[in-house]
Structure 1
């Protein structure tokens, strides 16, 4: 009898663990429940990312871009400038590239120091042509940035403020935000191309 009871309890625990690890509720950007197939269909476009909500077995779609206006922008800009020792032109847009920490996206790939250097030089040349401040590279966690040694100067996100203001979740690879001189901003979540940064500068400068 005791053996039977033990087997029953073990079976319940196994099923419970299996269920908790594999069964998800899928939510759209407005927190409405949708089917898994609908979720995957929307996720397959470049308009959305998905995040897993901790401990709730929920996966939620989020839009990859967000716009808004930052209150007390002058204080944020001053903090970033002081903590990174980067002199900023207050009449030009501020460009922040944000590294959230090591993940499967930013720790994979075959990029070399040379290709990384060339990619970022092209990015920065384009930013300069669009009359924005040179990008400032901020990180939450330094792990995963070793490949940039000798390529880029990364700085710790001062007081974690950039994360709090713009990057609520850990988005894969890295993200960026462009902020106009009057505090209007466009943020983009997850892996991006140089052109996305340039387009954001163009939009925010109009």
Structure 2
């Protein structure tokens, strides 16, 4: 299965894609149930709140295109084994001495939205900006991990406060980020009970702060 379009935030973009293709397009919701095109376009609208917003994905098969919705925000819980494997993958000791939370910023590889740069100058709530990272530290006990998918075309720039690590065996991708979601994604995990909140696709530092406050109550 070949991914031809990802993160189609603009309904008109997908509409044009369907109109110019000789293959039929089949639409599915986040549960894998087939839905009508109108419902698909409505749910994938970028004007909805984060709790109600979906990512619009499209895949090419031999005889058709599959249009799939994925919920941008997911609240879930990791098993004890998943937690142990996650700590091992992140080279973190599985002990009570670690911070209460882990934040994983995930770079999915090159797409139209990113190229591996950490552009932080002038944008206070860019996810790579020190200001928002310092604000987060004032109320949230966490470790931050910067994980990227293997992509030989990207030369990851480094800063003293950003240490990019390769997603070994695509573990983080398989655990939290099933498909390629444009720009970047993140997940916050409670290291004590396995609860997590993940956000798919581009987000600002403000969204990370909002989710950090929310997960404190889970």
Sort the TM-score into its range (normalised by shorter chain): 0.7 to 0.9
Partner of 2:75: 67
Structure 1 equivalent of residue 177 of structure 2? 167
Q: Which moved more, 1:122-131 or 1:161-170?
A: 122-131
**1:34 matches 2:35:** yes
Taking the aligned partners of 1:128 and 1:179, their CA distance within structure 2 comes to: 16
Matches within 5 A, 1:72-91: 72=81, 73-81=83-91, 90-91=98-99
> Once the 2 structures are TM-superposed, how far is the Cα of residue 30 of structure 1 from its aligned partner?
2.5
Unmatched 5+ stretches in structure 2:
1-19
Q: Which residue of 1 aligns with 2:121?
A: 114
Instruction: Determine if the alignment matches structure 1 residue 202 to structure 2 residue 213.
Output: yes
Per the normalisation by structure 2, the TM-score is 0.72
Give the Cα–Cα distance (whole angstroms) in 2 for the partners of residues 70 and 189 of structure 1.
17
Could you tell me how far apart the structure 1 residues matched to 2:187 and 2:152 are? 21
Which structure is larger by alpha-carbon Rg, 1 or 2? 1
Counterpart of 1:125? Answer: 134
SS at structure 1 position matched to 2:70: strand
Following TM superposition, by how much is the alpha carbon of 1:89 offset from its aligned partner in structure 2, in angstroms?
5.0
Aligned partner of residue 123 in structure 1, secondary structure: helix
Structure 2 residue aligned with 1:48: 54
TM norm structure 1: 0.75
Q: Which structure is higher in strand share?
A: 2
- 2 CA distance for matches of 1:112 and 1:184? 30
Q: Supply the distance in 2 between the matched residues of 1:147 and 1:42 (Cα, whole angstroms).
A: 34
Greater helix fraction, Structure 1 or Structure 2: 1
Root-mean-square deviation (CA, aligned residues, Å) is: 3.1
SS at match of 1:94: strand
Q: Give 1:126 shift.
A: 2.6
Residue segments in structure 1 that go unaligned for 5+ positions in a row = 1-16
Greater displacement, 60-69 / 166-175: 60-69
Closer, same or farther: CA 112–50 of 1 in aligned 2, 3 Å: same
